[in-house]
Chains A and B, each alone.
Chain A
Amino acid sequence: MKPLASLAVRSIWNRRGTATLTVFALAVSVMLLTGVELLRTGAKESFARTISGTDLIVGARSGPVNLLLYSVFRIGEPISNLSWDSYRLVENHPAVAWTVPIALGDSHRGYRVLGTSDDYFSHYRYGERRPLEFSEGHAFADEQDAVLGAEVAHAFGYSIGTDILLSHGIGEVGFHEHEEHGFHVVGILAPTGTPVDRTVHVSLEALAEIHGSEEMAGLTAFLVGMKSKDSVLVMQRALNEYRQEALTAVIPGVALQQLWQVVGVADRALFLVAALVVLAGLIGMLAMILASMGERRREMAVLRAVGARPVHVFLLLLIEAVLLAATGAVAGILAAHFALAGAASWLASRYGMFLSPQGPGLFDLLVAAAVILAAALAGLLPAWLAYRNALTDGLAVRT
């Protein structure tokens, strides 16, 4: 076997032009497949860990997935606000343990501003019931205080004591800077790997004052924790059926599950497409090897002359196919991991998707094995052709 392997390597090296193209095509297709899977699991994880320990999210009448997206992931906007009357009703209900109001709509240099009460910092959980922690400072005490998510602080180098201005709307540049309303950074949160990191938190009263309103700021949504699990479904139904205002109350786990059902279809389709692309890459490799068969008949005759058996000829071609595929697969997998690591911050800012960096794992091993196996199967064709030719050619190669 060893002499065959080194012959196979030299043979490929001799044709390294076309071999490189073949390997490149395979690598790109494997990169696509691996990338799709990485994105899928990363997105799922990123979304699943964003909110925990909250029984209900309530907003103005809207689809449940939509409500989840804008209130928790800061993707999209609500169509309208809630009334404070509805909020008070729930807040004071004996079956309710806690509520946290949320007002969205402003921004600071492209990062969303969240108006809320200081209960947010004690009741908001993520991951598996992990609470928010401060890496520096504390929650807001005065009206002009702000608490920054880890990434906001890092991006602009803010620290405790920095003064910042807010803009209206969520565009990257604000033309309506609230000049007189600077905020004072009093706390910076530890990184969570959720949209919290990309948020500036201020008090609701401060937001109200900015918008020149005597009352509270417009309420986008609120989070609810019930005293007892069994009243969750009842409260949800009551809010959905509430006659005084059109509301939607959603259980976060249910909305996430529904979100995944939508995504799941697209994701499976994408995976199938990627698998087909890999197949195309393998066909390209097969074509390359078959195209070289003609000129290699004499090569095989030489090997036969020095004592190689037809099975050696067979193995030589099979080894070539496997080597090409293995190189392409490994290159593709590594490229996918690098590309995703490089795009991580863009994905986080654009799509709220926080991918935890991880090296190649079990799935990648399976992909590589599958590609190599498929290549070996594809390589059986030229290998068998060469074997048959070796048997019938004798010493005089009629090409």
Chain B
Amino acid sequence: MNEAALEISDLRFAYGAGSPVLDIPRLIVKRGERVLLRGPSGSGKSTLLGIVSGVLAPGGGHVKLLGSDLGAMPAASRDAFRGDHVGLIFQMFNLLPYLTVLENILLPARFSACRRDRCSPNPVSEGRRLMTALGLSGADEATRRVVNLSIGQQQRVAAARALLGRPELVIADEPTSALDSDLRDSFLQLLMAECNAARATLLFVSHDTSLGPRFDRQLAIHDINRVRTDEASA
């Protein structure tokens, strides 16, 4: 199982008629690899994640995710593909305020039959298992309203949701930037443990260089992206 999780060649992207944001000749991420992607704000990291997750269509070149060419798919198929194979964690605002903790975690199962079926024996028990694994268990934690959670707890809920149904790729966009260092370390530890157990590929974006040693590989965005942007013009 050495096929690439992600294979990019000659990727170019610009927003609308603007100047190019991405120009990436080559990037390969192997299955099960844990990659840290670093770079300053506005350097195109989030855009790259948008393309890799199928939210944005590549402007030119090829983006192959788990062997499937995203550029060749219509938008609806990319969305479905993402729902089936990718778990996403954002920096903030990961959760729907009108659903409980458990309901938020179970969201992928609503939109992807694939993810729902991979939960054994059923999504609810898998959801609860993930809560425990990520340090979220408590008597009534599952039915708590998310607005009552601390930011650290919210990020763990987001992680549990990203991991439900064992997606092959987990993408995290600055998930620990709002956490203090203790919380950050424990979050990372739990996240990586689960990724290992599920044999998922982890693509982790952060501007924090101190996280490097935990990862199999570190990439600076400027190493792969030929487009240079000033922070001021971001």
Contacts and interface: CB of A to CB of B under 8 A. Distances in A.
> Quick check: do A and B touch in the complex, using CB within 8 A?
yes
Interface of A: 3, 7, 10-11, 13-15, 298-299, 301-312, 394-397
A395 B49 contact: yes
B216 to A, nearest CB: 24
A311 B53 CA distance: 18
A11 B98 contact: yes
Contact of A306 (B56, B75, B108, B173): B108
Contact of B83 (A298, A302, A307, A394): A307
A306 B83 contact: yes
B111 A3 contact: yes
B198 to A, nearest CB: 17
A397 B92 CA distance: 10
Contacts of B88: 305-306, 395
Contacts, number: 77
> Interface centre among B46, B96, B108, by most A CB within 10 Å?
B96
B101 to A, nearest CB: 14
A14 to B, nearest CB: 3
Interface residues of B, number: 30
Contact of B56 (A3, A15, A394): A394
Interface SS, A side: helix
Contact of B79 (A299, A301, A309, A395): A309
Nearest to A305: B88
A155 to B, nearest CB: 54
Contacts of B56: 394
A305 B99 contact: no
B127 to A, nearest CB: 13
Nearest to A304: B55
A396 B46 contact: yes
25 contacts: A3-B111, A7-B96, A7-B110, A11-B98, A13-B98, A15-B98, A298-B93, A302-B94, A303-B107, A304-B79, A305-B82, A306-B88, A306-B107, A306-B112, A307-B82, A309-B76, A309-B79, A311-B76, A394-B47, A395-B46, A395-B49, A395-B50, A395-B55, A395-B88, A395-B173
A267 B98 CA distance: 45
B90 interface: yes
Contacts of A311: 76
A15 B111 CA distance: 24
